[in-house]
Amino acid sequence: MKTKTVEYNHEYSKIESDGTVKIIEKKYTINIEPLKNKLGVMLVGMGGNNGTTFLSGILAYKNNICWNNKYGTHKVQFLGSISQFGSVHIGYDVNQKPHSKLFRDISDMHEPQNIVVGGWDICGDNMYEAAKKAHVLDYDLLEKLKHDLEIIQPLPSIYNPDFIATNQKIRANNIIKNNYLETIKYDIEKFKIENSLERVVVLWTASTERFHNGKWKNRNDLYNAIKDNDPEVSPSILFATAAAETGSIFLNGSPQNTICPAVIDNAKFFKTFVGGEDFKTGQTKLKSVLVDWLASSGIKPLSIVSYNHLGNNDGKNLDEERQFRSKELTKKNVIDDVVDENPNIFSSGKPDHAVVIKYVPAVGDSKRAMDEYYSELFLNGKHTLAIHNTCEDSLLAVPLMLDIVLFSELFSRITLNDENFDTVLSVLSLFFKAPIVKDTEPLINSFFKQKNGLENFFRILSGIPPNNHLYFL
């Protein structure tokens, strides 16, 4: 296949220092390189609920496995995946009937069966034993995958008890003893060679770490910190550093502040990419929709209270304060840009916002979330919206993991005016609670703005203009 080229004239508005609005025009030549053969994905936390479910889903899809449960016979469909099932509006025909294309049909992305999965875990259980402990897969599916899963053993990982909860110590029987960075780099390079891979995506789906307090400004500071055994260098930062050195993409699916300025500078030096942070799947994704909807309707949210309990290992790790604090911050920050966008509604400040997470082993991966949105209406009327949401945590996360892997790999093959995408893949913001963006770019959390931006970019890749919804003109 040949490189695809699209010409695009971009117009946008910018507010000048004197308050005037300036229209800026910029011409782009967009080149999309053809697909390579296979894509490698290395999961940090491969033996957890998300990791085992991701691996199992890919294997079942590759082998066209069907399984039975009380609802009937099933096969793998990546429902919840925007790359596989999301549609981009293309236009209306003469009868005003809408037409659309799937994201995956607009620009070549890897098929799930072309993904090779490997990874690390601090627990040495083979993937069958790990998946059995996770209690996510239907029994019939688990048993049909038993042979394939039993032969897959996670690579030893980095265990630093200062960064994750003390209750994780019981799992830590498969750990790297020393030379952390060199070992992880060796693992990635070996995985690439053994599987004839051009590109690897390293995806952190391990336990939430506490926030690090490193003040490193650039890659030199970071490498000095690693050399000096700085106690603020977390395992996730070591994985991100190893990913950069091997030319791999690093994506952070947990809420800790891994992708700091020094990590970004290092990825930029090696001409690769980072994205994150913290998968936006259930309760927080709903919040990014509902707060925007309330404020866009002219209604004033006064308080938002989010409670959830879950019984998987993620919930167990969050049972300790420092790890919970990382998660709390990403959950609370998701409404910031909606508040900034509606200064008249929020003239007295942000809504009161409380987040509670409790570990309840009995419910396993089936997370219960309860939210109350308390708002002010006309003539000081009050409006209460209460929502109960029960979801299989990993079954929401895995299609999103597939999305960020496939989209990030696609964007790594796209150049804009002969320049690569920026190191920070802010175009993936739709998939993260706390999106990382470059310094010159606004931070957007609103679901609809994020989705609209992604759809419009794919419209541009189709050779048609962004959608402005001005159908009456």
Give dist(CA 119, CA 126) in Å, integer.
Answer: 12
Question: Residue ranges of the alpha helices (H) in 122-179?
Answer: 127-134, 139-144, 146-150
Which DSSP letter does residue 312 get? Answer: S
Q: How far apart are CA 4 and CA 445, in angstroms?
A: 31
Is residue 367 part of the annotated active site? The answer reads yes
Pair 288, 335: CB distance under 8 Å: yes
- Buried/exposed code over 83-107 (b: 16+ C-beta within 10 A; e: otherwise): bbebebebeeeeeeeeeeeebbebb
Q: Going along 37-148, which residue ranges are E strands?
A: 39-44, 66-69, 72-75, 87-92, 98-102, 115-120
| 3-state SS, residue 403 | helix
Q: What span, in angstroms and rounded, lies between the C-alpha atoms of 140 and 47?
A: 20
Q: Exactly one of 121, 125, 187, 278 is catalytic; which is it?
A: 278
Q: Which residue among the candidates 185, 268, 300, 367 is catalytic per the annotation?
A: 367
Tell me which residue of 262, 243, 163 sits closest to 208, measured CA to CA: 163
Q: Which of 192, 280, 287, 327 is catalytic?
A: 327
CB 134 within 8 A of CB 52: yes
For the beta carbon of residue 361, count every other beta carbon within 10 angstroms.
11
Which of the following is catalytic: 185, 192, 433, 449? 433
Annotated catalytic residue 278? yes
DSSP H or E stretch at residue 9: strand 4-15
Contacts of 213 (CB under 8 A, 6+ apart): 232
Catalytic residue numbers, as ranges: 278, 327, 367, 433
